[in-house]
Amino acid sequence: MAITMKRKGYGQVEPNHLSGIVTGQIYAQLPTNTDIVQLEQGQFAKYDYAAGEVNFTGEGEFMLVYNEERLYDERKQNHKDFIYKAEDFTDKRLYPRLIRTYVGDIMTTNTIEVPNTSDSAEVGAATLSVGGYLTISETGFLTPATAPGDGIAWKVVKEYTMPDGQPGVKIQRVQ
């Protein structure tokens, strides 16, 4: 059955079972490369310690962007309203929290394929199916794939719903 992934607002993640949280493999002390102006929950980036920055092109594997959400009015804001934007920081650089993922990890997300620039705009039209694969694009977004490639791969294991009622998928890292 085809799952059409459209979402309003920014990406969301439910960390159903992420080993990096339990093992303490959470990295959060490097600023992003100055070209990165926003990061959504569920996007992936590299912790390039040698370069002294978080980027999309350094050596090492992609890690999950999973920041502590800061929502200041829960009556008007939801998970879809949270994003890290460089313009919100005094030095105009982000300091994201990245979590290492492992084969077998499970999460629920709707951060598929495309970034968003608004907490109210609708984006995306990726078509997924249970049993299908996702890989990580050069901009750190999960993107549909016909088979696992050479890098990290996730498998769609269940059609799901995010806390705010939007479509989502439960995925498991298989490579």
Instruction: Give the pLDDT confidence of 148-158 residue by residue, as tens digits.
Output: 988 999 999 99
Q: What is the pLDDT of residue 74?
A: 67
Report CA dihedral (160, 55, 29, 163) to the nearest 10 degrees: -10
2 versus 62: the higher-pLDDT residue is 62
Q: What is the pLDDT of residue 119?
A: 74
Provide mean pLDDT across the span 62-70. Answer: 91
d(CA 8, CA 116): 8
Three-state secondary structure call for residue 95: coil
Phi-psi bin for 42: left (phi > 0), alpha (psi -120 to 50), beta?
left
Q: What is the pLDDT of residue 123?
A: 86
Residues 6+ apart with CB under 8 A from 119: 8, 9, 10, 80, 81, 83
* φ, ψ (nearest 5 deg) of residue 125: -160, 30
Share of the chain above pLDDT 70, in %: 95
Closest alpha carbon to 31 in 69, 68, 86: 86
Q: What is the pLDDT of residue 71?
A: 64
Provide mean pLDDT across the span 38-66. Answer: 96
Burial-class residue 9 by CB neighbours within 10 Å (0-12, 13-18, 19+).
buried
Q: What is the pLDDT of residue 79?
A: 75
pTM value? 0.92
pLDDT greater than 80 at residue 40 = yes
Band the pLDDT of 73: cuts 50, 70, 90: low
Provide mean pLDDT across the span 157-162. Answer: 94
d(CA 38, CA 108): 21
Provide mean pLDDT across the span 122-143. Answer: 92
Arithmetic mean of pLDDT over the chain = 91
CB 150 within 8 Å of CB 156: no
Closest alpha carbon to 108 in 151, 167, 148: 167
Three-state secondary structure call for residue 22: helix
Provide mean pLDDT across the span 84-95. Answer: 93
Closest alpha carbon to 13 in 55, 68, 62, 57: 68
pLDDT greater than 70 at residue 16 = yes
Per-residue pLDDT tens for 105-120? 999 999 998 778 877 7
